[in-house]
């Protein structure tokens, strides 16, 4: 039977809101989404994925399904000493290394279904030009000044050391592995010259000395009151983000050096483009130029797509209507709530500032942190060898580190996939589609009248679908995943109540209504699964011949939601999709634990 799109369309003009059950008109929005830039020194680990890129993607996908205009921008963060050291270790020129790693990170993201609208590079000419522009206007506005500063020079390494590559004893709490920028034990902000017994974390050498060197400083202290007022007025930020910003402000916002003695990076130039006097061999600091790459990457996206970047970033060009949402781990919060806003606000130009900032805690690895530099944990390219991307997407979002750090274990990964995906969703889809193929020739059956079982599932959906949308809009991902699972589980409960296989021999009409309703639920369950497990959702929707234009997320009012369980046209041919999820066996867990570690003694 030919499919009639008008008979089966989830798009509607109204939808039910969770609060009070009122029906409101959908207001389409323009949403700019950025996730913290993954650093270039290797493919990122699962902690990086869970703390920024993946939730940004899930949110972007959900908002697109609701009909909003979404632009999701990310890029590799390519400057700084770690890039130089990683290239040196790989015995490659740093520019070539960065190009190679950009391609590797883009490929790793593709395996996990990261739906960037553009994945750029902080080393792009667009970002260099913008960085130099901001430096010029900030200096003209009295927010940048040149200072002679004292920095740690490692004779063994033959280089000045960035703050976090100097380690020593914290002068505040006595922690012996404090970094030069911050003590991870007490959280106090530090300067490398304050450390007791400093040494190079690159070589481990204590042959270091303090030298004078000229650098440009961003005078964040002048913006402190302005930033405090802005943070206080912010809405849509989780307490984690606000508390980190306020901690830095309460401790006294420091003026920060925005240049470094390095070869790889954006040159420090005058307004005429000539290298600033005394700044040969110096470049802009990675944390000054990296957030600017959000704008630069948007410019590059616009150039490739014949579009207008200013309507996303300039409030005098239409960006005042944009909702800007940032995603990041907690270690990046200070730079996005204070340093980058200092740049944008301090320029006195009409730049778009973040509206909602979603900050995450860490995914921990058997009692410690995932670590790129120490190779601890599972990395995205390795994870792609072990299991499909959808498995990781589901597990990491269902256990998103929102309220606190979230511990990764192989056993919990196994349990989550086997229980939530294989037993709940996979079992439901498999049971009803195979039954339809076997008993109703693979066609949507007609006949039968809705009864108590159908009334029950309608009531469940009328409560749960609006709540699910509300969780996504609030970026409460754990709750959204739990609600999604609950909806899937309700499908299995419906089949128990309807029992079409029991009725088949005695009342074919009752069997037909159960199968028809079950197949409509299969489609609905796949539609709501699209932001989380997009590859699996595509397999299900393709097997049931659902056109792409009919996979949206506007479910209508209470009556519209009721219609969802009888929306497929009678006679539509459907197929049972191939096995959706293979269970993770104990032998798999044992092998992975042996390869990657799986206990405190292996950290």
Instruction: Tell me whether residue 213 is annotated as binding.
Output: no
Flag whether 136 is marked binding. no
Query: What is the C-alpha to C-alpha distance for residues 305 and 326, in angstroms, rounded to an integer?
Result: 23
Alpha helices in 353-448 (DSSP H): 380-386, 389-398, 410-416, 427-439
| Long-range interactions of 580-583: CB distance < 8 A, separation 24+ | 580/421, 580/422, 580/425, 580/426, 580/429, 580/430, 580/536, 580/539, 580/540, 581/391, 581/417, 581/421, 581/422, 581/425, 581/426, 581/536, 582/422, 583/417, 583/418, 583/422
Alpha-carbon distance of 373 to 370, in angstroms, equals 9
User: Which tokens belong to 445?
Assistant: 């059956």
- Dihedrals phi, psi of 144, to nearest 5 degrees: -135, 135
What span, in angstroms and rounded, lies between the C-alpha atoms of 82 and 84?
5
Q: Would the annotation count 372 as a binding residue?
A: yes
Residue 102: CB partners within 8 Å, gap ≥ 6? 40, 76, 78, 121
The CA distance from 519 to 507, in Å, is 19
For residue 173, say whether it is annotated as part of any ligand binding site: yes
Q: Are 492 and 427 in contact (CB under 8 A)?
A: yes
Three-class SS of 24-60? EECCCCEEEEEECCCECCCCCEHHHHHHHHHHHHHHH
**Taking a C-beta distance cutoff of 8 angstroms, is the pair 365, 377 a contact?**
yes
Phi, psi of 449 (to 5 degrees): -115, 145
Scored b (16 or more CB within 10 A) or e, 289-300 reads: bbbbbbbbbbbb
Rounded Cα distance between 586 and 384, Å, is: 19
Give the rounded distance of the alpha carbon of 600 from its chain centre.
28
Q: What is the dihedral of CA 372, 378, 382, 387, to 10 degrees?
A: -150
**Residue 549 and residue 455 in contact, taking contact as beta carbons nearer than 8 Å:** no
Residue 170 marked in a binding site? yes
Residues 6+ apart with CB under 8 A from 377: 45, 46, 47, 365, 370, 371, 408, 596
Tell me, rounded to whole angstroms, the distance of Cα 562 from its chain centroid.
33
Pairing of strands 69-76, 118-121: parallel
Annotated binding site for ATP: 372
Annotated binding site for Zn(2+): 170, 173, 183, 186
């Amino acid at each position: 039977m030919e499919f009639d799109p008008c008979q089966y369309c989830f798009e509607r003009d109204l939808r039910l809101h969770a609060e009070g059950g009122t029906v409101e008109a959908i207001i389409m929005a323009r949403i700019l989404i950025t996730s913290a830039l993954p650093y270039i020194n290797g493919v990122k680990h699962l902690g990086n994925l869970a703390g920024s890129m993946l939730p940004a993607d899930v949110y972007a996908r959900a908002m697109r399904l609701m009909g909003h205009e979404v632009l999701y921008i990310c890029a590799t963060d390519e400057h700084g000493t770690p890039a130089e050291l990683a290239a040196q270790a790989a015995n490659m020129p740093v520019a070539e290394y960065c190009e190679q790693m950009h391609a590797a990170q883009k490929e790793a993201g593709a395996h996990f279904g990261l739906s960037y609208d553009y994945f750029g590079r902080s080393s792009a000419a667009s970002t260099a030009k913008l960085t130099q522009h901001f430096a010029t206007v900030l200096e003209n506005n009295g927010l940048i000044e040149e200072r002679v500063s004292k920095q740690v020079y490692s004779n063994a390494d033959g280089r000045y050391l960035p703050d976090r590559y100097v380690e020593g004893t914290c002068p505040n709490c006595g922690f012996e592995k404090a970094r030069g920028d911050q003590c991870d034990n007490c959280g106090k902000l530090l300067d490398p010259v304050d450390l007791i017994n400093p040494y190079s974390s690159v070589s481990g050498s204590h042959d270091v000395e303090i030298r004078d060197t000229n650098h440009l400083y961003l005078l964040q202290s002048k913006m402190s009151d302005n930033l405090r007022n802005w943070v206080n007025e912010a809405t849509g930020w989780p307490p984690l983000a606000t508390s980190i910003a306020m901690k830095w402000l309460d401790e006294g916002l420091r003026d920060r050096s925005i240049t470094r003695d390095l070869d790889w990076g954006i040159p420090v130039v005058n307004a005429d483009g000539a290298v600033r006097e005394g700044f040969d061999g110096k470049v802009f600091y990675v944390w000054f130029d990296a957030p600017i790459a959000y704008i630069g990457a948007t410019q590059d996206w616009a150039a490739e797509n014949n579009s207008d970047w200013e309507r996303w970033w300039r409030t005098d060009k239409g960006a005042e209507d944009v909702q800007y949402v940032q995603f990041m781990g907690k270690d990046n919060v200070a730079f996005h709530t204070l340093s980058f806003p200092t740049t944008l606000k301090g320029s006195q130009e009409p730049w778009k500032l973040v509206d909602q900032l979603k900050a995450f805690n860490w995914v921990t690895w058997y009692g410690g942190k995932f670590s790129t530099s120490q190779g601890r944990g599972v990395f995205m390219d390795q994870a792609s060898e072990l299991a499909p991307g959808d498995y990781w997407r589901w597990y990491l979002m269902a256990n998103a580190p929102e309220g606190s750090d979230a511990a990764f274990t192989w056993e919990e990964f196994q349990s989550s996939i086997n229980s939530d995906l294989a037993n709940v969703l996979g079992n439901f889809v498999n049971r009803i589609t195979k039954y339809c193929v076997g008993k109703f020739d693979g066609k949507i059956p007609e006949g039968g009248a809705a009864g108590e079982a159908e009334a029950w599932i309608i009531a469940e959906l009328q409560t749960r679908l609006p709540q699910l949308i509300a969780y996504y809009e609030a970026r409460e991902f754990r709750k959204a995943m739990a609600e999604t699972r609950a909806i899937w589980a309700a499908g299995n409960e419906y089949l128990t109540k309807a029992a079409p296989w029991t009725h088949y021999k005695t009342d074919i009409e009752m069997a037909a209504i159960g199968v028809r309703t079950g197949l409509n639920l299969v489609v609905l369950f796949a539609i709501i699964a699209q932001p989380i497990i997009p590859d699996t959702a595509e397999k299900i929707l393709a097997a049931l011949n659902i056109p792409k234009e009919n996979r949206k997320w506007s479910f209508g009012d209470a009556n519209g939601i009721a219609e969802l369980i009888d929306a497929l046209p009678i006679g539509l041919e459907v197929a049972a999709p191939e096995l959706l999820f293979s269970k993770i066996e104990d032998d798999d867990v044992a092998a992975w634990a042996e390869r990657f570690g799986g206990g405190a003694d292996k950290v």
